[in-house]
């Protein structure tokens, strides 16, 4: 009888220990945001390592179209294309620089050597990518950054808009529009240091 009870207790301890080890700890590094912002879900290190070793994610050929809008008339948009042979620095045969016009809004992506671009060709690998954005307007107001198109980007890639001014973030896979304020008296609310587009493997 004692042997049966001892064996039962030993089995219970093993099961309890196994459950404890399989529990996933919460991700304390997630960015806190407003209720409209969708926060990144936590993933295990094991899953991340498997995805980062998937070499098929190194040959992405696709593109994104991102737009800045005050209203239906005052808009600007950019193209970010992905191909394995592209360079992160400005390349006149693949990229197109932004020419400042007289519109109410202006949007550019930044090359790795900080050239504002209307068309930006980049390599996308399983290590992920961070792309600086430059936003400018002529007046204060509420504006929107809109994800207009996501074409042939594998679902393994998360696509995040990071807002350093508001300490906020938005999952563009789940919500295609981000509203924000620009205050011309506050240089931190516009320009090339507020927004980044981040693509990373789930």
Q: What is the pLDDT of residues 31-62, one digit of tens each?
A: 333 434 444 443 434 444 445 566 778 889 99
Does pLDDT of 17 surpass 50?
no
Burial of 111 (0-12, 13-18, 19+ CB in 10 A): buried
Q: Rounded mean pLDDT of 20-38?
A: 38
Q: So what's the pLDDT on residue 24? A: 35
- Tell me the per-residue pLDDT of 103-144, one tens digit each, with 9 for 90 and over: 999 999 999 999 999 999 999 999 999 999 999 999 999 999
- Tell me the per-residue pLDDT of 162-185, one tens digit each, with 9 for 90 and over: 999 999 999 999 999 999 999 999
What span, in angstroms and rounded, lies between the C-alpha atoms of 116 and 110? Answer: 5
User: What residue has token string 């219970």?
Assistant: 12
Q: Rounded mean pLDDT of 154-162?
A: 97
> Quick one: how far is CA 180 from the chain centroid?
17
User: What residue has token string 């301890």?
Assistant: 13
What is the CB neighbour count within 10 angstroms for residue 25? 7
């Amino acid at each position: 009888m004692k042997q049966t009870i001892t064996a039962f207790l030993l089995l219970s301890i093993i099961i309890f220990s196994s459950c404890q080890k399989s529990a996933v700890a919460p991700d304390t590094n997630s960015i806190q945001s407003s209720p409209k912002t969708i926060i990144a879900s936590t993933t295990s290190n094991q899953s991340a390592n498997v995805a980062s070793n998937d070499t098929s994610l190194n040959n992405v050929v696709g593109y994104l179209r991102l737009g800045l809008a005050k209203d239906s008339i005052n808009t600007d948009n950019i193209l970010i294309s992905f191909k394995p042979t592209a360079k992160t620095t400005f390349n006149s045969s693949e990229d197109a620089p932004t020419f400042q016009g007289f519109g109410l809004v202006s949007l550019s992506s930044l090359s790795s050597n900080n050239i504002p671009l209307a068309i930006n060709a980049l390599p996308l690998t399983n290590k992920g990518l961070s792309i600086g954005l430059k936003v400018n307007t002529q007046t204060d107001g509420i504006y929107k950054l809109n994800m207009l198109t996501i074409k042939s980007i594998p679902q393994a890639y998360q696509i995040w808009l990071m807002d350093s001014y508001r300490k906020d973030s938005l999952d563009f896979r789940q919500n295609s529009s981000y509203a924000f304020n620009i205050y011309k008296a506050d240089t931190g609310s516009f320009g090339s240091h507020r927004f980044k587009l981040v693509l990373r493997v789930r």
